[in-house]
Chains A and B, each alone.
Chain A
Amino acid sequence: MSKTIETDSLEIFANEMEKVKDALPKKIEANPENAEKGLAKLVLTLIELIRKLMEKQAMRRVEAGSLTDEEIERVGETLMKLENKMKELKEIFGLKDEELNLNLGPLGDLL
């Protein structure tokens, strides 16, 4: 059965697929040398997931107009502090934004 790969832009596709591959490690790399970083990456990925869910929920409520001025202020302050704390933690463990993700196979990407 002859296989076809048909495109006028093979290089562009190869580059884009390389980005996907680089961005999404399938496993948390944990070994004796970097156990702390591996664990931090896993924990921070989960915190980031929850933070983003909270943020999205807040945006939906702003959009729907269901938050009072005071509530918006409080939510804004909280989300800002969470984001700043995450920045600090990422710096401490030398992690970049794109590293905080996990490929969950058939379920897709975590973030």
Chain B
Amino acid sequence: MSLYAYAIIDSTVGVEESIKGLSGAPVYTIPYRDIGIVISDLNAQIQKEDKKSVLKHEEVVEMLMDKFTVLPMRFSTLFSGKEQVLLMMKNYYDDFIENLDRLREKIEFGVKTIWPGDLIRERITTAHRKSDNLPLVASSSGKSFMNEKFENYKIDKEFEEEADRCIAIVDGFFSKFISEKRLEKLKTDNLLLSASYLVDNEKRDDFKKAFEELKSSGGDLKYMLSGPWPAYNFITLKHSGDGKFGGMDLVETVLQHKDPEEKDEK
């Protein structure tokens, strides 16, 4: 049997017995000094792509969020026994306390933006071809190759500059309401921005209002807001990065598996 971990919480009290975790096992707390780790016993193997388990993990963390400050663990974090859990708690205790203090009363929102990247690249490429402003006289194969590469380099550079300008505008809508942010640019040509914002709980409505304003600002960009999430992307560990904590991958996995008609407010 293994111990499956959901989150670190800023409390040593036990969680409600009614909360069921993976495989329907009851969820409970192992206290360490003034904090706790929420776990459940697990006899089965976990499949990384198991939609039901991913959603269950997230469901438990969300329930904990209502009562505690949580540091969510990455999906499929397992310990062989209580001793291993306590050793990890001891090793990371200072980090946990620091993160719990920083993330108290804070939530995470995700904002994704799609732009017509294919069209923008095409427009830039056409403009470059028209200007035909090549820097080298292509008298040899080496120079021809460099000319072609240099043109692509200029196109990429202009494309990225255009992306930076758009991202600054999108990001500007939220700057007044956030504590921290993580921005990822152009994960694909069309996915202009994948942003995670850390927001004070009391500013959540302002943040959502800013999103509405952004959405109604016109243009041909498309936006998606998700959250509030536990602060998956804002946990920073000095001790080491052993990959046991949450991150964009879990948020995206949950997003991909979620049936919005079934669970979410539209």
- Report whether A9 and B184 are in contact in the complex, using a CB–CB cutoff of 8 Å: no
- Report whether B146 and A21 are in contact in the complex, using a CB–CB cutoff of 8 Å: no
| Cα–Cα distance between A69 and B117 once the two chains are bound (Å) | 35
| Cα–Cα distance between A63 and B153 once the two chains are bound (Å) | 10
The smallest beta-carbon distance between B153 and chain A, in angstroms, is: 4
Q: Determine chain A's interface SS by DSSP, over half rule.
A: helix
- Report whether B256 and A14 are in contact in the complex, using a CB–CB cutoff of 8 Å: yes
**What total of A-B pairs shows CB separation below 8 Å?**
122
- Report whether B146 and A75 are in contact in the complex, using a CB–CB cutoff of 8 Å: yes
| Cα–Cα distance between A18 and B208 once the two chains are bound (Å) | 26
Chain B residue with minimal CB distance to A55? Answer: B149
- Known interface pairs A3-B264, A20-B187. Does A106 touch B241 (Cβ–Cβ under 8 Å)? yes
Cβ-based interface call for B50 (8 A)? no
Cβ-based interface call for B133 (8 A)? no
User: Which residues 102-140 of B sit at the A interface, judged by CB distance below 8 A?
Assistant: 107, 112, 114, 135-136, 140
Cβ-based interface call for A79 (8 A)? yes
Cβ-based interface call for B90 (8 A)? no
**Residue from A5, A14, A63, A72 in contact with B143 in the complex, judged by beta carbons closer than 8 Å:** A72
- Report whether A62 and B150 are in contact in the complex, using a CB–CB cutoff of 8 Å: yes
Cβ-based interface call for B77 (8 A)? no
User: Which residues 42-90 of A sit at the B interface, judged by CB distance below 8 A?
Assistant: 55-56, 58-59, 62-63, 69, 72-77, 79-80
- Report whether B247 and A7 are in contact in the complex, using a CB–CB cutoff of 8 Å: no
Chain B residue with minimal CB distance to A18? Answer: B256
Number of interface residues of B (CB under 8 A): 47
Q: Which residues of A contact B135 (CB under 8 A)?
A: 62-63
8 smallest CB-CB distances across A and B, nearest first, come from: A76-B142, A7-B224, A76-B146, A77-B142, A59-B153, A73-B142, A80-B145, A9-B222
**Residues of chain A whose beta carbon lies under 8 Å from any beta carbon of chain B:** 1-10, 12-14, 16-21, 23, 26, 55-56, 58-59, 62-63, 69, 72-77, 79-80, 105-106, 108-109
30 A-B residue pairs with Cβ-Cβ distance under 8 Å, sorted by A, are: A1-B66, A1-B107, A4-B208, A5-B224, A5-B226, A6-B225, A7-B222, A8-B215, A8-B222, A9-B222, A9-B224, A10-B260, A16-B114, A18-B256, A19-B188, A19-B191, A56-B153, A58-B146, A58-B149, A59-B150, A62-B135, A62-B150, A63-B153, A69-B143, A72-B142, A73-B143, A74-B142, A76-B140, A79-B145, A79-B149
**Residues of chain B whose beta carbon lies under 8 Å from any beta carbon of chain A:** 62, 65-66, 107, 112, 114, 135-136, 140-146, 149-150, 153, 184, 187-188, 190-191, 208, 211, 215, 222-229, 241, 243, 247, 249, 252, 255-256, 258, 260, 263-266
